[in-house]
Amino acid sequence: SHCRFYADLTLKVFTIQPTHDQECNPALEASAEENAARMKRKRCEAQSEMCSPADWIRQDDWPVGIRNVGNTCWFSAVIQSLFHLPVFRRLVLNYHLSERILEKCKSHSDKRNIAFMQELRCLFALMVGSTRRFVDPSAAVELLRDAFRTSEAQQDVSEFSHKLLDWLEDAFQLAANGNNPEDKQKNPMVQLFYGTFVTERKHEGKTLHNIEQFGQYPLQVNGFNNLDECLEGAMVEKEIESLHSDHIVTSGRERWFKKLPPVLTFELSRFEFNTQLGRPEKIHKKLEFPQIVYMDRYLHKNIDQTHERRGEVKKLKEQLALLQQKLECYKNYGSGPTKYPLADMLQFVLEFATTKPTSISPAEDLRPAASSPTPANHPVSEPASKDNRCSTQRNSSSESQISSPFTQCRHPLDCPPHPAPHSITEEELHFVKTCLQRWRTEVENDINELKASIDKLTQVLEGMYSDNSLCQVPYRLHAVLVHEGQASAGHYWAYIYDHGNKRWMKYNDISITESSWEELERDSFGGMTNASAYCLMYIDDRLPHLITEDTDDETGQVLRGIDSLPPLLRRYVHEDNRWFQQELSEWEEQFCQTAAPQGESTASAEPPSTSSDNIQQTPAIREAPEQEAEQEAEEQQQESPARQRQTENEVSEVEIPNVGRIMVRADADGYNEEMMLTPAMQGVILAIAKARQTFDTEGPEAGLIKAFHEEYSRLYELSQEETTPQEDARLQHALVYFFQNKAPKRIIERTLLEQFTDRNLSFDERAISIMREARAKLRLIKPQDMDMDEYMQWHDDYRLFRTVFVYLLTGLEHYQHGKIREALIYLAHAYETNDGLLRNGEKRGVDKSLIALYRRKCLTALNERASRLFCSGEESKVEEGVAIMDEAVIPCLHLMSRDTALSLEDRDAMESIRSHWCCCLGQDMDDSLQVKLGEFLPRVLDGSADTVVLKDPPKVHVHQAHDLCSRLAAVMESIHNASIVIVK
């Protein structure tokens, strides 16, 4: 039914002529309305961390992400790489079918392809002009899933890409006005993505030719080190002429590209089936690829020139192999099973010959009675004569007898003497030294000459195809699809080159960040982690129209955003943006109702109160703190007089700490008793109480000014006090944090003014008057009067500071109760967030040494637990141990390895963990354990991988500030059973 709906909708959309725009609008509005409803239903359930509309709004011209609707990262990666190819984007957005052709489309496949093209056009249009940060691809994905007959399994990128190109080709074939195979050459998809190659083979002395078409060209990874070696191996089956590979296949066939497509896509075959284990495995071998690859040497028109170069390469490689063989003889010399470098062996013999001679046998030297501390270390400058040696022996014997009581208990091998000749004359020593030194010099010279010749030959080989005659067909890397994980599961993302701004971008579902070639290499080459390139998309660098943006036909100016869309899709995007704005309004209205259950209405766009307690519970787009007095009066007049008299007479008495008892009206608008008990609100209520006399004599404005100065002075004095173990003053109020970190004065003043606009102050007439006066003054502060981005950044920092404290406290409480795994996740997140704060000042965060200490304790204990489970050999325990490593230990190690200011204790702990797992390699264990160890050991050892992400901790409620420090003091006293640790 879904396919039929969109097929019918497409029939309406694509058959519309310019005179039927009005008829088309309802169809587009219906599609936009359904898209908005779908986004509204699924956004928060898929991205629960983004609960604020501010996280849904697109920033300027930043690219639009694609939401993962359930194992569909493969869809996002491929679609983004195609969308950001301007020539392809134009083809899709301008796709058109006449009414005559649509009437002929009766088959299921035709209707499905048309429906998919409609969804792709709508998706591309939203990615061009939407005000959303990310869009929902559910409709297009559902069509694809129907074709794949699955809804849960992750799809292989190549499988999806082939299916996508097939559907697009068929859809454009309909637009090409015919199904004749000869017309396929006019198909835009064929012209853009498909090329031809010719296969030649020898048969009975004749050369046979066979021409075939290709779309995505497959390349093997095993046996090769770079893209050129892969291509050479794929094109020349009779012999692979690669610089470093020993992979040889004998065959009589050669392949040559006859025609290259403008967009050349290589599939890297990184999966193979392990017959022993009976399952597919991923090939993690490192494979390098360049940003520009020259395809001249693989073209059929250059067959003679390439054959000549390959002949030269073969000769040079034979010479290179001979030189390397000679060099190997010098490096590994000897006729026995163990071989050593010849130069070192000559040096060792020289050292033996020049060692002081001795006539004492090794056996005699081991007897305790004959041991002496002096002979082995006694220096001599000349070889001793026979008489002198006898004298020395007598003296040594005499000395040994005297000192024997002191040396008999010492083990004779504590100071073993070096082996030495029993006797050698000066003439013999001179002759041996001369020969050995000369031979060693000759050997070193031979080795240097061989190395120089090898380097020279290697340079010649590497430059064999680098001259201008074979560098006329450059292809530039446009996109890299990356797969992280194993054969059975994993995650896809894409690196795409931004041709306009000359930069690499990383597209990871809804997350889009600026990247670099270095990061791309780290994630894509493979070899060290379980992330590697799976698909490479190159574009012909000689065709600028592939990457040229749309321009206006009259002015020639580049069209950007929604202006570049056809009129039909432009209206569709406008309609979807309208629905999005309505959704934001509904969310804000719903939030206001939740925040003000008594029914207070707000209409202004000013930010709300951002007190130390409110900021934890208020999203980025907040309710306005002020309300027009006229609106309040109108609402009060609408109530019946009886109801007004009833509520005015209903009051209750509330005890406020540090303030006393206050009378609260039953109809107090938005009153929240829990909020009234927070330190921030206590201070405001007390300040209003102190300003009572000023209020009564001079009016609400003077009362507000008096209360403002009272609270300002109190918070400033609090910020200057020394903190105690039981209380960190920064947790009581945001202004204490701002004062200590020297925030700008206007930010401090606005923050405090917002405290006096809180709806909880509507407990009596005096407080209501001061609240209204504060809201009126807040409205006078215009956006141009202060930098609101800087204002929000200060409050975000304070929110992060409180979050760090809560993470630290929660982690320590878990540690106290033996929940080490949960504790490590909280402490690791606390350290990372806190480290970012401390870069801006020591008062911005918590003392990081305390977090690091218990993070280290948890990491060490958890690693020991994982090791015990893994080495037990029991399947369930092994899986639990691997899960601990993957979810907690390894991500924590990667975060620590990227910390340039890591302490020595942390570095020692990391080294101990890595050494422990390396030692496991030498232990006897089952093959299955060896496989599992081999899967995660590289990630334990490699601390440079950016793709390992620490699991997010469960959401925690930020308790009231006066409770946090006392809880921390209690848990520290429980852990140490000693004095309380002071937290700065």
Residue 49 lies in a domain: no
Can 73 be counted among the known catalytic residues? Answer: yes
In terms of domains, do 770 and 848 share one?
no
Residue 53 lies in a domain: no
| Average pLDDT, integer, range 785-809 | 85
In terms of domains, do 949 and 861 share one?
yes
pLDDT band at 47 (very low <50, low <70, confident <90, very high): very low
DSSP string covering 821-877, please?
HHHHHHHHHHHHHHHHHHTT-TTSS--HHHHHHHHHHHHHHHHHHHHHHHHT--HHH
Can 574 be counted among the known catalytic residues? Answer: no
| Average pLDDT, integer, range 550-579 | 82
In terms of domains, do 965 and 895 share one?
yes
Kindly state the DSSP code that residue 262 receives in the 8-state scheme.
S
Buried b (16+ CB within 10 A) or exposed e, 388-405: ebeebeeebeeebeeeee
What is this structure's pTM?
0.52
In terms of domains, do 896 and 850 share one?
yes
Q: Spot the catalytic one: 478, 483, 491, 829.
A: 491
Residue 557 lies in a domain: no
Q: 900: burial class by Cβ within 10 Å (0-12, 13-18, 19+)?
A: exposed
Asked if 354 contacts 428 with a C-beta cutoff of 8 angstroms, the reply is no
Extended beta strands in 78-166, E state: 134-135
**Which position has the higher pLDDT, 145 or 285?**
285
Quote the distance between the C-alpha of residue 522 and its chain's center. 11
Kindly state the DSSP code that residue 292 receives in the 8-state scheme.
E
Residue 917 lies in a domain: yes
**What pLDDT score was predicted for residue 23?**
38
In terms of domains, do 739 and 810 share one?
no
In terms of domains, do 682 and 721 share one?
yes
In terms of domains, do 746 and 825 share one?
no
**What pLDDT score was predicted for residue 639?**
43
Range of the domain at 854: 805-977
How many structural domains compose the chain? 3
Alpha helices in 463-534 (DSSP H): 517-524
- Other C-beta atoms closer than 10 Å to the C-beta of 857 total 17
Q: How far apart are CA 359 and CA 337, in angstroms?
A: 32
The model's pLDDT over 377-388, given as tens digits with 9 standing for 90+, comes to: 444 444 444 444
| Average pLDDT, integer, range 920-946 | 74
Q: Spot the catalytic one: 24, 73, 122, 892.
A: 73
| Average pLDDT, integer, range 925-935 | 79
pLDDT band at 784 (very low <50, low <70, confident <90, very high): low
Asked if 526 contacts 513 with a C-beta cutoff of 8 angstroms, the reply is no
> What tokens were used for 172?
């454009």
Whether the CA torsion 723, 729, 731, 736 is positive or negative: it is negative
Final residue in a domain of this structure, among 442, 472, 502: 472
Q: How far apart are CA 486 and CA 277, in angstroms?
A: 14
pLDDT at 50 over 50: no
In terms of domains, do 823 and 918 share one?
yes
Residue 659 lies in a domain: no
3-state secondary structure of 654: strand
In terms of domains, do 846 and 758 share one?
no
| Average pLDDT, integer, range 822-842 | 88
Quote the distance between the C-alpha of residue 752 and its chain's center. 38
Q: How far apart are CA 539 and CA 260, in angstroms?
A: 10
Q: How far apart are CA 874 and CA 868, in angstroms?
A: 11
Final residue in a domain of this structure, among 407, 438, 472: 472
Asked if 140 contacts 119 with a C-beta cutoff of 8 angstroms, the reply is yes
Question: Considering only CA atoms, which of 236, 255, 258 is closest in space to residue 247?
Answer: 236
- In DSSP terms, 200 is beta-bridged to 209, 254
**Which position has the higher pLDDT, 833 or 939?**
833
Residue 330 lies in a domain: yes
**What pLDDT score was predicted for residue 726?**
52
In terms of domains, do 748 and 835 share one?
no
The model's pLDDT over 434-461, given as tens digits with 9 standing for 90+, comes to: 999 999 999 999 999 999 999 999 888 8
In terms of domains, do 703 and 738 share one?
yes
Residue 293 lies in a domain: no
Quote the distance between the C-alpha of residue 333 and its chain's center. 48
* Helix or strand holding residue 206 (H, E): strand 206-214
Helices (H) and strands (E) in the chain, counts: 34, 17
| Average pLDDT, integer, range 278-290 | 83
Residue 319 lies in a domain: yes
**What pLDDT score was predicted for residue 663?**
57
Kindly state the DSSP code that residue 528 receives in the 8-state scheme.
S
Final residue in a domain of this structure, among 786, 815, 839: 786
* Helix or strand holding residue 197 (H, E): strand 195-203
Question: Considering only CA atoms, which of 849, 73, 982 is closest in space to residue 508?
Answer: 73
**What pLDDT score was predicted for residue 257?**
93
**What pLDDT score was predicted for residue 667?**
45
pLDDT band at 952 (very low <50, low <70, confident <90, very high): confident
The model's pLDDT over 601-631, given as tens digits with 9 standing for 90+, comes to: 333 333 333 333 333 333 333 333 333 333 4
In terms of domains, do 782 and 838 share one?
no
Pairing of strands 134-135, 65-66: parallel
Longest dimension (CA), the chain: 134
Q: How far apart are CA 170 and CA 164, in angstroms?
A: 10
**Three-state secondary structure readout of 374-442:** CHHHCCCCCCCCHHHHHHHHHHHHHHHHHHHHHHCCCCCCCCCCCCCCCCCCHHHHHHHHHHHHHHHHH
